[in-house]
């Protein structure tokens, strides 16, 4: 789909008779049948310890999760209380298969063809414990317009996390923003997660991302993105259905994660992106060519601390990275229950790098006191490239950006 239409003629509503969403069901995998030997001779076999049976362990682990949620987690702050966070317009919704919309006013021109697709968090299962909106499973909502008709559809991005938990019937993979609400909860949930990994309930090497942040069209594919994982390729079917093709690693050249906000140059068709990490190099820049191949990585070693990089900006000749007062710190999970913390002593910076740099030797950093840029709106060059203008909202109370994720808002 080569077009995203952000406005169209007519007022659209799904047909009332088709608005019954399928109820959410959980799949059940029956245990394998135990065969009996037709021979009357019985061979002595070592008895298995029933306490080590995976199905028994799963029951125990589920009980442990419930115990942590009920007795170990401290009372939820409203910003983490699922009864508050997931209420009214933020309440979870079910998938809706392709549904033709009734045009209640006006008409749709037959020459109008395209689709509007939105991405956002929508938990597959209602949380048993603390929940942050950023931890919801990615769901895509699409309105496809063709031949004077509009088809609406809502589908989950079929991430590895979604599929594993769909089969299990409940959430089992840890949530990055809300599962570590206290030190003791961190230890307990960590032990439960390690045990689930050991008995084969999930494999983190397959990715634990949610694909719930954004959509981007580049390299010949439409992607659902989340910065904690690889992008997931998505296809919009002719009947309006949304199909997840799978996790995309650009022929093995992108092993871990990338930003959820890549920048696409409409003139060249290139996509510019980055990833950040908890270990050096803390920031890595790369490009995706129009044919979908990835350039080599450019590590930014002048980043000496692991900052929280969510977005950036590009101009015709430069890349602009914001180094804010938000920093990622795994020890924050222990001290405050939050992976991202606010450093009051740090002076925010903007880093400028030529778009086609082969290394970071031409990287320049400029201190911008009081300017914490989380998202970029636009950027361009003036004065023959001597001046770069960046338009971005300034997050004034940066220490409260994530709400109250942990029991104590972390400050360094």
Strands of 221-225's sheet in order across? 214-218, 221-225, 232-236, 242-247
Encoded tokens for 49: 């310890």
Extended strands (E) in 32-182: 96-105, 114-121, 138-146, 149-156
Residue 320 · residue 379 · CB < 8 Å:
yes
Encoded tokens for 157: 């991005």
Encoded tokens for 135: 């931890």
How far apart are alpha carbons 181 and 338 in whole angstroms?
Answer: 8
Encoded tokens for 337: 């229950």
375 annotated ligand binder: yes
Residue 139 · residue 120 · CB < 8 Å:
yes
310 annotated ligand binder: yes
CA 193 to chain centre: 20
The residues with which 234 forms a beta bridge, in sequence order, are: 222, 244
How far apart are alpha carbons 273 and 209 in whole angstroms?
Answer: 17
What is the phi-psi region of residue 126: left when phi exceeds 0, alpha when psi lies from -120 to 50, beta otherwise? beta
Residue 64 · residue 192 · CB < 8 Å:
yes
Residue 221 · residue 288 · CB < 8 Å:
no
How far apart are alpha carbons 48 and 60 in whole angstroms?
Answer: 18
132 annotated ligand binder: no
Q: Which residues of 30-55 are buried (b: 16+ CB within 10 A; e: fewer)?
A: eeeeeeeeeeeeeeeeeeeeeeeeee
Q: Which residues are annotated as a binding site for Fe cation?
A: 261, 310, 375
Q: Which residues are annotated as a binding site?
A: 261, 310, 375
């Amino acid at each position: 789909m080569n077009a995203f239409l952000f406005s169209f003629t007519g007022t659209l509503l799904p047909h009332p008779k088709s608005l019954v969403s399928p109820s959410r069901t959980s799949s059940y995998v029956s245990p394998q049948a135990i065969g009996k030997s037709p021979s009357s001779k019985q061979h002595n076999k070592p008895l298995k310890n029933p306490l080590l049976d995976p199905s028994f362990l799963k029951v125990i682990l589920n009980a442990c999760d419930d115990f942590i949620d009920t007795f170990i987690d401290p009372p939820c702050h409203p910003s983490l209380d699922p009864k508050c966070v997931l209420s009214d317009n933020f309440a979870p919704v079910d998938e809706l298969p392709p549904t033709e919309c009734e045009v209640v006013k006006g008409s749709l021109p037959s020459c109008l063809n395209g689709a509007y697709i939105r991405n956002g968090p929508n938990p597959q299962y209602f949380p048993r414990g603390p929940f942050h909106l950023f931890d919801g499973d990615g769901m895509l909502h699409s309105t496809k317009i063709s031949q004077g008709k509009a088809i609406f559809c809502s589908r989950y991005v079929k991430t590895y996390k979604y599929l594993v938990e769909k089969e299990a019937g409940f959430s089992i993979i840890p949530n990055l923003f809300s599962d570590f609400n206290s030190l003791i909860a961190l230890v307990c949930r960590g032990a439960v997660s390690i045990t689930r990994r050991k008995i084969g309930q999930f494999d983190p090497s397959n990715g634990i991302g949610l694909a719930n942040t954004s959509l981007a069209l580049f390299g010949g594919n439409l992607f659902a993105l989340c910065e904690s994982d690889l992008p997931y390729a998505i296809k919009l079917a002719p009947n309006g259905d949304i199909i997840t093709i799978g996790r995309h690693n650009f022929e093995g050249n992108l092993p871990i994660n990338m930003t959820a906000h890549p920048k696409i140059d409409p003139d060249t068709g290139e996509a510019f992106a980055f990833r950040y990490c908890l270990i050096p190099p803390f920031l890595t820049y790369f490009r995706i060519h129009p044919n979908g191949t990835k350039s080599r990585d450019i590590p930014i070693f002048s980043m000496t601390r692991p900052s929280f990089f969510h977005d950036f900006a590009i101009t015709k000749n430069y890349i602009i990275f914001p180094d804010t007062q938000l920093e990622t710190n795994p020890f924050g999970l222990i001290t405050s229950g939050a992976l991202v913390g606010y450093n009051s002593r740090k002076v925010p910076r903007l880093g400028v790098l030529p778009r086609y740099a082969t290394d970071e030797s031409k990287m320049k950093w400029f201190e911008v006191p009081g300017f914490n840029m989380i998202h970029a709106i636009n950027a361009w060059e003036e004065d023959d490239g001597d001046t770069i203008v960046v338009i971005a909202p300034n997050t004034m109370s940066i220490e409260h950006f994530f709400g109250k994720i942990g029991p104590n808002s972390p400050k360094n």
